[in-house]
């Protein structure tokens, strides 16, 4: 039987910081409104860097923390909705930038749940015996898709990347990963591909942005996050009391708070860093896990669940002995 583990983690955010007060130059809003409704105080934003640059820096940090030679990586999966190009994918460009040749590398799109989807794929690919060490990355430059005239959405998002090396293990550390989707036919959360040409007029479409029906997404999130955690606990005959921590997708502090209350899990066990980064989509979960590790919130031997939801609509969760 092949088991898997988290061998190392890393993260990277661009230098430029946009505070809640900075946003007042674009829309009518206030630090008080944003903080009380979302828990966000600031977010990071790219200036010249692309999603690939963020992914690369996070990957270097994860590889260093894993203590392995980069050439021992034989699989790269990048979760992103903001790839530099339609193709080549970020994963293939990342492979070249890291100087690793001839390995399997591809992108996936499951919005904010993308990293958990990548984790599930990589975990199963390692457990099949076909791969040894996987580099999985969540990297986003969501501020490129942000409509700076829309106060309902522009206050929420930020840029960043998180990465993880997962490897074969003697012990069952990545214990279970589940994912799910429900096609968003009501278009609660979407963005048209801004770079695709309109076939009718053979011209670049006008720049499109993130559209979101916030309260409906809030209802979906507060239903699916606790359900995903409960499903994982039930499938593995574990009680919420057995968990040391939950590292949830950082979309809104009130979503995390409500999910914790519904699950009867103390907020002390919930890792949060939304105040510093806002919602970084697929990067949110791996940035949070990396910070939880580097601040010693998450220690070797701890049992934790990571859980995410997002556009698609999608969701996913993993039960991990770190």
- Residues tagged active-site: 112, 249, 279
In whole angstroms, give the CA distance from residue 228 to residue 145. 28
- Tokens coding 46: 């790219």
Q: Based on the shown chain and the rule CB under 6 A, indicate whether residue 155 belongs to the binding site for ligand ACO.
A: yes
Q: For ligand ACO, which residue of 41, 127, 144, 151 counts as binding (CB under 6 A)?
A: 151
Q: Name which position in 38, 51, 80, 82 contacts ligand ACO (CB under 6 A).
A: 38
Min dist CB 64 to ligand ACO, Å, is 29
Which of the residues 48 through 77 are near ligand ACO (CB under 6 A)? none
For residue 275 the two structure tokens come to: 């105040």
Q: What angle is formed at CA 197 by the lines to CA 193 and CA 198, rounded to 5 degrees?
A: 100
Nearest distance, CB of residue 206 and ligand ACO, angstroms: 20
Q: How far is the CB of 172 from ligand ACO (least distance, A)?
A: 30
281 lies in the site for ligand ACO, by CB under 6 A: yes
By CB under 6 A, residue 310 contacts ligand ACO: yes
Q: Which conformational region is residue 8 in: left (phi greater than 0), alpha (psi within -120 to 50 degrees), or beta?
A: beta
Question: Per-residue x/- mask for ligand ACO, residues 208 to 247, rule CB under 6 A?
Answer: ----x-xx-xx--x--------------------------
Among 19, 33, 71, 195, binds ligand ACO (CB under 6 A): 33
CB closer to ligand ACO out of 56 and 218: 218
20-47 residues labelled b (16+ CB within 10 A) or e (exposed)? beebeebeebebeebeeebbbbbbbbbe
Q: Which of 93, 98, 111, 318 binds ligand ACO (CB under 6 A)?
A: 111
Which residues on adjacent β-strands are paired with residue 321?
303
Taking the complex as a whole, how short is the minimal distance between the CB of residue 293 and ligand ACO, in angstroms?
24
User: Applying CB under 6 A, does 29 fall inside the site for ligand ACO?
Assistant: yes
- Distance (Å, whole) CA 277 – CA 287: 9
Structural element, H or E, at residue 215: helix 214-235
Is the Cβ–Cβ distance between 213 and 190 less than 8 Å? no
| Geometric angle at alpha carbon 159, from 151 and 167, rounded to 5° | 140
Rounded to a whole number of angstroms, the minimum distance from the CB of residue 20 to ligand ACO is 9
- Structure-block tokens of residue 115: 């990293």
Binding site residues, ligand ACO, CB under 6 A: 29, 33-34, 37-38, 111-112, 151-152, 155, 189, 212, 214-215, 217-218, 221, 251-252, 279, 281, 310-311
């Amino acid at each position: 039987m092949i088991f898997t583990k988290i061998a190392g983690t890393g993260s990277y955010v661009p230098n430029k910081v946009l505070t809640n007060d900075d946003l007042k130059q674009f829309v009518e809003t206030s630090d008080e409104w944003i903080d009380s409704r979302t828990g966000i105080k600031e977010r990071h934003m790219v200036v010249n860097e692309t999603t690939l640059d963020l992914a690369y820096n996070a990957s270097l940090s994860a590889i260093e923390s894993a203590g392995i030679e980069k050439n021992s990586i034989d699989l790269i999966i990048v979760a992103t909705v903001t790839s530099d190009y339609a193709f080549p994918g970020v994963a293939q460009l990342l492979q070249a930038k890291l100087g690793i040749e001839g390995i399997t590398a591809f992108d996936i799109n499951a919005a904010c749940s993308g990293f958990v989807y990548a984790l599930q794929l990589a975990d199963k690919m390692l457990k099949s015996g076909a791969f040894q060490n996987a580099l999985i990355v969540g990297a986003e430059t969501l501020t490129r898709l942000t409509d700076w005239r829309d106060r309902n959405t522009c206050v929420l998002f930020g840029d960043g990347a998180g990465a993880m090396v997962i490897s074969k293990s003697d012990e069952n550390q990545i214990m279970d990963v589940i994912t799910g989707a429900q096609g968003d036919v009501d278009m609660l959360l979407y963005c048209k591909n801004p770079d695709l040409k309109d076939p009718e007029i053979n011209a670049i479409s006008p720049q499109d942005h993130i559209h979101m029906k916030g309260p409906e997404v809030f209802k979906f999130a507060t239903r699916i996050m606790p359900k995903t955690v409960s499903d994982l606990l039930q499938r593995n005959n574990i009680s919420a009391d057995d968990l040391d921590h939950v590292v949830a997708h950082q979309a809104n502090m009130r979503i995390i708070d409500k999910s914790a209350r519904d699950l009867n899990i103390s907020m002390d066990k919930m890792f949060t860093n939304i105040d510093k980064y806002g919602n970084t989509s697929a990067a949110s979960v791996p940035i949070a896990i990396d910070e939880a590790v580097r601040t010693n919130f998450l220690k070797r031997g701890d049992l934790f669940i990571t859980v995410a939801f997002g556009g698609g609509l999608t969701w996913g969760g993993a039960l991990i002995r770190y």
